[in-house]
Amino acid sequence: MQVSITVNGQQRTDEVEPRLLLAHYLREVRGLKATNIGCDTTSCGACTVIVDGLSVKSCTVLAVQADGAQVTTLEGLAGPDGEMHPVQRAFREEHGLQCGFCTPGMVMAAVGLLADNPDPSDREVREGLEGNLCRCTGYHNIVRAVRAAAQAGPAAGQVPQVQEVQA
């Protein structure tokens, strides 16, 4: 089947198997390897991306279901001059990661959370990110990072506006 999906501002049409997961499409067809796959069964959140403004576990969505959608992955978060997104910067400054495996999904889920709730409490951050598992940090610094990112204002809950390019 043919799908036409805009990823990080680049629209492309590809031939895909009907059962191909969006997570595999992003990694194998689009070559965007920042989106990690930890479980393939909707449990860990490592594969979280933003689809049409909502954070979504990309292993729960078929590529064909994303036909026509706008998808943002971690690779698309930085600004046009490579400046880090406020959530990325906060994760770095607050040491919100150790091994980093969960981090791309955690950052994308945090952007989605901050879009819904621009100034969450600790508890709201924990509840909002409960679908994202981290084996290393104990979550404390992740919560701090998300709350620090909130101080950056509305930009923390937004994905960069990238100019659409047809390829």
**Binding interface with ligand FES (CB under 6 A):** 37-40, 42-47, 57, 59, 97-103, 134-137
**Shortest CB 81 distance to ligand FES, Å:** 27
Indicate the residue among 77 and 102 with the shorter CB distance to ligand FES. Answer: 102
Angstrom distance (rounded) from CA 35 to CA 23 = 7
Q: Which is nearer to ligand FES, 5 or 23 (CB)?
A: 23
Shortest Cβ 164–ligand FES spacing (Å) = 27
Nearer to ligand FES among residue 20 and residue 155 (C-beta) = 20
What residue type is 125 in one-letter code?
V
Work out how close the CB of 83 gets to ligand FES at its nearest, in angstroms, rounded to a whole number. 23
Q: Name 118's Cβ contacts closer than 8 Å, sequence gap at least 6.
A: 150, 153, 154, 156, 157
| Token digits of residue 140 | 């404390």
- Residue number with CB closer to ligand FES (142 or 158): 142
Q: Which residues pair with 7 in a beta bridge?
A: 10, 71
Phi, psi of 5 (to 5 degrees): -125, 135
Q: Is 121 helix (H, G, I), strand (E, B) or coil?
A: coil
Query: Minimum CB separation from ligand FES for residue 27, in Å?
Result: 11
